[in-house]
A and B are shown apart, each in its own frame.
Chain A
Amino acid sequence: MPSKQIPVVEMKNITKKFGDFTANNKINLTVYKGEVHALLGENGAGKSTLMNILYGLYPPTSGEIYINNKLVEIKNPNIAIQHRIGMVHQHFMLVKPFTVTENIILGMEKTNRFGILDLKKAAAEVKELSQKYALLVNPDSRIEDITVGMQQRVEILKALYRGADILILDEPTAVLTPQEIYELGKIVHNLTNEGKSIILISHKLKELKIMADRCTIIRRSKYIDTVDVSKTSEEELAAKMVGRKVSFVVDKEPKTPGEIVLSVKDLMVKDNRGISVVNGLNLEVRRGEILGLAGIDGNGQSQFLEAITGLRKVESGKILMNGADITNHTPKEIFESKISHIPQDRQNRGLVMDFTVAENMILETHSNKPFSKNGVMDHHQIKSFTTKLIEKFDIRPTDETKIAGTLSGGNQQKVIIAREVTHDPDLLIAAQPTRGLDVGAIEYVHESLVKQRDENKAVLLISLELDEVMNVSDRIAVMFEGKIVGLIDAKKADMETLGLMMAGGGSA
């Protein structure tokens, strides 16, 4: 916590309207020099919008912004940068085929006296910055080849390279592994030590408690409160943000699992580079159970899921669904064998961002009755179906004609979950289903998964968050280097044993 409270950012009475919809309604935010200020609110509360305004991406409909006590008008990101504001977006904005250095200097290229790009000098500067704040990156790697965590460090470096003193991080931890989150915490600490201020958006209360000094809470576009994080409990934060009490533990009755639904035998799958990443995997999922798949990112989980769902070729081995062989079947056939899939990558796989919410709701089922007959769509049926799901899953705003890409990150995820759960599958595969969701929504998703199980369906849950796996699952399978290295009863599991197994040691 900074000793003197010098305000660097003051947003006063900020209102932002998109057509008739008010995304920010008279919001106030004050950030002090050297503090980590958290922004907390449900999905669609208006956090990203508020930060986009500060970064000059949207003009506010009304309200004032003061930077270092001076009234400013931030018309575009260039002006934001001039005011030393930097932003790392919820969805990264990097040029994939470019290298780390090229991305960092993009738009700020320095040339030598012949007007030729001086990449060497730039690389040296990038290196210096990255060492100063322990932001480890390899300046010459291409973005498409590096991990999400490293991409994020590139985004942070990009902002610092532009001289940012006020850094906005929009849900920086949603896509990170626990280890990467820990490292980000250290980086944030290094930055504030240098007197930089950080605005942090996150739904993970635990992290906020560790990283943030103060927290401003927004609910349904309105300002609620600003609190001292060390003096407020997680429960209090959650209640302020959702407007009711939230339960952090998943309630479920004991249940005896039924017959086998999914059975995977000696599965071998290769990744894009042709390297075998699933190496003889065996797994069974039964009716009436939630099987949690734990593992450190990059141990073949993604490829395993893609293989089950028909998005990647199976090299050898067998996948049986309700006893029928579905190995290397098409995604459509697999869907028809009653497997639903909440994909890990919602923007790339799960949604057509340019489609409306209604169009996205029928991605797999558009050619079925009642949504279409003889190849002609029935827009009325589609609409009433979507409106029902919007209401049931509390998707905001309640407008089925909204373009999916304009929904808040969490609401995009809710669209996918609503769609997939409603297929009434025998097996529901949920990959990182709560990534980017607020605590209220997480509670809801967990309840939905448990409900599936209680209706005697099988659920395969893949999550990088051990808490989630331990809380929700009945059994936990640990995946390491493309194999299942251990299978334990969730009730008997503890963090340490699991952690050890995930790192390749021990078994049960």
Chain B
Amino acid sequence: MIKKFLKLFSNHTLLFTLVSILLGLIIGALILLAAGYNPLQAYGVMIQGIFGKPKYLSYVIIRSTPLILTGLSIAFAFRTGLFNIGAEGQFIIGSTTAVAVGYFLHLPMILHIPLVIVCAIFAAGFWGGIAGYFKARFGVNEVISTIMLNWVALYLQNFLIYTHGFQKPGGEVSYSIQPTASIRFLNEWKLSDEGTQWLIEHPFWRDFFKTPINWGFLIAIAVAVLLWFILKHTTLGYRLRAVGFNPNAAEYGGINVKKNIVISMTIAGALSGLAGAVQVMGVSHNVSLLAAMEGYGFDGIAVSLIGSSTPAGCVLAGLLFGALKYGGPKMQPAMGAPSEIINIVIGIIVFFIAMPQLIRLLLKFTQKKKETVTETVEIDYVG
């Protein structure tokens, strides 16, 4: 099972991705060099900032979690031939719903947590489904409708934050969710006598647990496995992929193309909504006034692209992204190197991955004899 799961991230695609990442890092190094910084030192600081302490690792995981989920959302829609630019808005709907249900309701934890998650998934799934319905019913391109829905979601959240009963007095933020809706790791145990004792005896974990580390990451992994299962082993996944590859053949085969478009966008919306909920329940506990998009959805596009739209790929790409985004900016205080460099590196990686032809050429160059390999890359990438 696990072997199969890893196999999805097929060798050639993996090779291809690794080359892109390497190129991104090399070009980033050249830029650092041109700006007068020692790239080895800068990357050293970054790596130190990622792996240096258990706490850092913990933060990388926290940063990765929402990106993995939005990445999965975009990847899933993509497998059905849809481009879900709306992850951003679905994320917002999910997080706002999570705050509302998490704050207003008072329930025991065992009910509260699942209820918050389910509500957020439903609301954001509905939000994504709107775009799917518009596409299926009126032929409205999902790229356009989801971009518009993103702004609607943003202003909806801002409107709610200024609503009496929701806004926390004295701030441009909402009230925080009840403790019963939090998914922080072992929150109470950490403060109990027994917990403090154990943590003192285990310094690694003490440092690791200093952060708002939460169940979100495990939820994301579970969801990735679930999606892999759906795509690979269920008739639903079969139909969605058929529609994505060739809607004409799907229609001929008796598959209801329109229905599957709505289903796909609904599931994609639900996934982004889950990302928002997990972020609220695990990290922020509230939502605040948004001046602009936060970028979880847009980063998700890059994650999905780097992960070649496979579930396992999204998990790895999400972690990479989280690490770069967390460790990269540490260059700035340490040596004054602009932290924007890391955004450039990410941009370049995405750029190379989106430009398969060039990488293929590079691969061909290095292994002239084994031309069959490069041909399979082509097929893999399409699949």
Contacts and interface: CB of A to CB of B under 8 A. Distances in A.
Interface of A: 17-19, 58-59, 61, 309, 311, 330-332, 335, 341, 343, 348-355, 359, 362-364, 366-367, 372, 375-377, 379, 403, 405-406
B245 A354 contact: yes
Contact of B235 (A19, A349, A352, A372): A372
Nearest to A378: B233
Interface stretch (B155-163, B176-184, B249-257, B317-325): B249-257
A331 B254 contact: yes
A367 B372 contact: no
21 contacts: A17-B372, A58-B371, A330-B256, A331-B253, A332-B255, A348-B246, A349-B252, A350-B249, A350-B252, A351-B246, A352-B246, A352-B250, A353-B246, A355-B242, A362-B238, A363-B249, A366-B235, A376-B234, A377-B235, A403-B383, A406-B379
A377 B231 CA distance: 10
Contacts of A349: 248-249, 252
B236 interface: yes
Interface string B108-141: 0000000000000000000000000000000000
A375 B252 contact: no
Contacts of A354: 245-246, 382-383
Nearest to B382: A354
Contacts of B256: 330, 332
Contact of B248 (A19, A309, A348): A348
B294 interface: no
Contacts of B253: 331, 363-364
A59 B250 CA distance: 34
A116 B383 CA distance: 38
A400 B376 CA distance: 17
B375 A18 contact: yes
A3 B254 CA distance: 58
Given A352-B246, A353-B246, A366-B238, A331 B379 contact: no
The 7 closest A-B pairs by CB, nearest first: A332-B254, A363-B253, A349-B252, A354-B245, A367-B235, A331-B254, A352-B246
Nearest to B242: A352
B381 to A, nearest CB: 11
A348 to B, nearest CB: 5
A376 B237 CA distance: 9
Nearest to B229: A376
Between B235, B242, B248, B379, the greatest number of chain A beta carbons within 10 A of the residue's beta carbon is seen for B235
A101 to B, nearest CB: 27
B372 A353 contact: no
A221 B252 CA distance: 34
Q: Chain B binding site: helix, strand, loop or mixed by DSSP?
A: helix
Interface in B216-260: 233-236, 238-239, 241-242, 245-246, 248-256
A180 B257 CA distance: 36
B238 A359 contact: yes
A469 to B, nearest CB: 24
Contacts of A377: 233-235, 238
A312 B246 CA distance: 17
B244 to A, nearest CB: 9
Contacts of A405: 379
A348 B236 CA distance: 22
Given A363-B242, A372-B235, 18 more contacts: A18-B375, A59-B371, A309-B252, A330-B254, A348-B248, A349-B248, A349-B249, A349-B252, A352-B242, A352-B249, A352-B250, A353-B246, A355-B242, A363-B253, A364-B253, A367-B235, A372-B234, A375-B234
Interface residues of B, number: 26
A381 to B, nearest CB: 13
Contacts of A61: 371
A363 B256 CA distance: 12
A343 B248 CA distance: 11
A355 B245 CA distance: 8
B375 to A, nearest CB: 7
A367 B236 CA distance: 9
Nearest to B232: A377
Nearest to A363: B253
B364 to A, nearest CB: 9
Q: Which of B233, B235, B253, B383 has the most CB of A within 10 A?
A: B253
A86 B250 CA distance: 35
Nearest to A331: B254
A386 B200 CA distance: 61
B242 A375 contact: no
A352 B255 CA distance: 12
A380 to B, nearest CB: 12
Contacts of B375: 18, 58
Contacts of A406: 379
A474 B120 CA distance: 63
Nearest to A18: B372
A213 B130 CA distance: 63
B81 to A, nearest CB: 11
Contacts of A343: 252
A332 B255 CA distance: 7
Contacts of B238: 359, 362, 366, 377
A403 B235 contact: no
Contacts of B235: 366-367, 372, 375-377
A44 to B, nearest CB: 17
A358 B375 CA distance: 21
A366 B245 CA distance: 16
Contact of B252 (A331, A355, A362): A331
A326 to B, nearest CB: 13
A376 B246 CA distance: 22
B233 A352 contact: no
Contacts of B250: 352
Interface string B367-383: 00001100110010011
Given A59-B371, A376-B234, A364 B254 contact: yes
Contacts of A19: 372, 376
Contacts of A332: 254-256
A351 B372 contact: no
Contact of B251 (A58, A311, A353, A362): A311
Nearest to A403: B379
Contacts of A335: 254
Contacts of A351: 246, 249
Contacts of A359: 238
A145 B242 CA distance: 27
Contacts of B372: 17-19
Nearest to B364: A59
B249 A331 contact: no
